[in-house]
Amino acid sequence: MPQQGDHGRGDTGRPGGRTRGARRDSGRRQWAWIGAVALLVVAIVTAVVLVRPPDHHDDRTITVRRTAAAAFPGGLAQQPVQDNQAGRREADARAAGDTSTAGRLAVIADQPVATWLTDPDETATRQVVRRVVRDARQQGRTPVFVLYAIPDRDCGSFSKGGTAERDYLPWVRSAVRAMAGSHAVVLVEPDSIAQIHVCERLGADRLHLLRQAVDELTGRGLTVYLDGGNEDRVPVATMARWLRQAGVDRVQGFATNVSNFYRVDQERAYADRLADAIGGDPHFVVDVSRNGQGWRGTWCNPEGAGLGQPPHVTRGTTRLDALLWVKTPGLSDGTCNGGPAAGQWWESYALDLVANRRQD
């Protein structure tokens, strides 16, 4: 150990050297302390960065999304005559000599429209699927199906019904077997996710059931879109979380505006925000069947509504894959504003949609 008198020798023995040396040692100790603290801070920051929980996208397995052209090979198929409701009414009008009505209904009948699968009976559903797939194959185009038979459908409102809880997944499995390998597009249960916002009893059980349905649909040569709701309905962050829980990471994306009336620019802006919130670049489709006049103040048979632009597949330069006619124009939304039961043909309304259609 150094001797006690040695502490003052660093200042060449001049008067006051001991005090200056003490101050110098004190300064050195101060800088050493500051340096130690700085090193500690760096170590803590480094540790925090290293153990920070990963971003909520980092630990997810996300499917590679197809291009629009690959998702809809050949473009959109028209429905077979047996399933084309407007086409059947057009034929009836021509047979009755009412060429004016027939010509107006042809505006609807000549467009590709999605085929809704709503019958809980598995055999009947398979028959529809096989007929539509066969006809689309002859056209060299892509059929679009809508699964719409989830238990507690529409939360008991105008479109209530669906399968029993125990029968839903077998029903989905049966439909999927009939369309497997067809490259069909499948929209899964419109309203099923967005409706949780106002029908709390659906909750986590509904999302779990949809995730199981996704299990049945993936890996079968199909392009699948889940329910994305529409703008001003569910907060984007909430909808994104629900879609991830329902399995959107394993499908092409989501569908918006189904059976609704919002304009394309509004829906695209909403869908892009939702896709950003989901992460992983999901794609989307928008229903434009009746949005030619935009939102009319209600979702249920609004007056003044008109057909939207013709359905078509996009060029694929954005996440928007296609503008579709998902809702069949002319089918009632329910017993509101003078309409018949939900899903029933309402010819006067169909003709009004044609009269008010988007012209540009």
Q: Please list the active-site residues.
A: 154, 191, 333
For residue 283, what are its two tokens? 């794609």
Report the relative pairing of strands 115-117 and 253-256 from DSSP bridges: unpaired
* Residue 175 to residue 177: CA distance in whole angstroms: 5
* Residue 341 to residue 335: CA distance in whole angstroms: 5
Q: Which of 321, 318, 346 is nearest to 332 (CA)?
A: 346
HSE toward the beta carbon, residue 40, CA cutoff 13 A: 6
Q: Which of 228, 216, 225 is nearest to 262 (CA)?
A: 228
Angle at which helix 236-246 crosses helix 264-278, to 10 degrees, equals: 60
Q: Count other Cβ atoms within 10 Å, centred on residue 49.
A: 8
Q: Which of 116, 105, 90, 160 is nearest to 259 (CA)?
A: 116
The amino acid at 76: L
